[in-house]
């Protein structure tokens, strides 16, 4: 199998970066990583993870093949079949991680989410039928809890790429979903705790918010009319984010 020369790869990356006029920090920001990671590549101490190869090659104006070969290929030059095969094998084995989705690992969270969603729908229906206050904001919060709950309980990646363990990264990006926790170093030591906190928080939101709104309207309708929407929003943000921050900080190292 083709072996990547780290020193040659680093020198190639550095030359392309300078050619494009990027600083290490600017290139790192485009890839949502730290500038320390780029520095490690260029000094030959490490290589970028597989998911970064395509965006890195796009930013530097070369193909992934040229990136792996550590040299630009003339348009008229054709690679030998055995060299192409070795490059493909390198790219495949280079991806030493295949993070599983939540539904592939533990389905108890799916059951908990389904039960919470059912309870939440019944509670929201009771609020609608009895014409309680703050239904607009309650509906928004229930929708957000249902959508985020479905993602975290069913579809989220249960393991982070290796670069999260090597660098200081606070942003998690997965398709259309992004989670940014400023001040928290996301890594595989705290990721499982963060996921558990998010799942429990969102399931609680689905179950509790219809009850909170119903009781508040019954006990203090005038006051709830004035502050209910703000209170519901602040409660949702607090219940969702504070537990993630707490466990993320506690287990980040």
Just give the CATH number of 6-94.
Answer: 1.10.260.40
pLDDT at 1: 45
Domain span(s) for CATH 1.10.260.40 in the chain: 6-94
| 228 in Cβ contact with 219 (< 8 Å) | no
Nearest Cα neighbor of 134 from 207, 241, 211 is: 211
Q: What is the pLDDT of residue 92?
A: 47
Q: Model confidence at 45, in pLDDT bands (50, 70, 90)?
A: confident
pLDDT tens digits along 146-177: 999 999 999 999 988 777 877 788 888 888 88
Among 147, 114, 156, 175, CA closest to 236:
147
Tell me: the pLDDT tens digits for 177-226?
889 998 999 999 999 999 999 999 999 999 999 999 999 999 999 999 89
CB 245, CB 207: distance < 8 Å: no
The sign of the torsion formed by the CA atoms of 192, 52, 87, 10 equals negative
| Residue 3 CB partners (closer than 8 Å, separation 6+) | 90
Which are the contacts of 97, defined by CB distance < 8 A and separation ≥ 6? 49, 50, 159, 161, 162
36, 167 contact by CB (below 8 A): yes
pLDDT tens by residue, 77-91 = 665 655 555 555 555
């Amino acid at each position: 199998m083709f072996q990547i020369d780290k020193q040659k790869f680093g020198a190639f990356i550095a030359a392309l970066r300078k050619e494009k006029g990027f600083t290490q920090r600017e290139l790192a920001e485009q890839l949502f990583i730290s500038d320390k990671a780029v520095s490690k590549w260029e000094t030959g101490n490490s290589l970028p993870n597989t998911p970064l190869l395509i965006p890195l090659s796009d930013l530097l104006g070369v193909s992934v093949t040229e990136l792996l070969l550590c040299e630009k290929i003339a348009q008229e030059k054709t690679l030998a079949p055995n060299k192409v095969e070795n490059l493909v094998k390198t790219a495949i084995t280079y991806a030493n991680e295949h993070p599983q989705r939540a539904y592939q690992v533990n389905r108890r969270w799916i059951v908990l989410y389904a039960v919470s969603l059912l309870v939440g729908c019944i509670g929201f229906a009771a609020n609608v039928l009895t014409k309680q206050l703050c239904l607009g904001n309650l509906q928004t919060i229930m929708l957000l809890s249902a959508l985020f709950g479905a993602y975290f309980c069913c579809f989220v990646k249960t393991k982070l790429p290796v670069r999260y363990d090597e660098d200081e990264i606070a942003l998690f990006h997965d398709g259309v979903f992004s989670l940014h926790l400023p001040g928290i170093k996301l890594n595989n030591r705290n990721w499982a705790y963060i996921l558990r906190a998010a799942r429990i928080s969102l399931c609680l939101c689905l179950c509790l918010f219809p009850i909170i709104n119903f009781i508040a309207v019954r006990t203090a309708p005038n006051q709830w009319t004035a502050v209910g929407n703000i209170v519901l929003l602040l409660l949702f943000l607090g219940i969702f984010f504070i537990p993630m921050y707490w466990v993320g900080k506690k287990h980040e190292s």
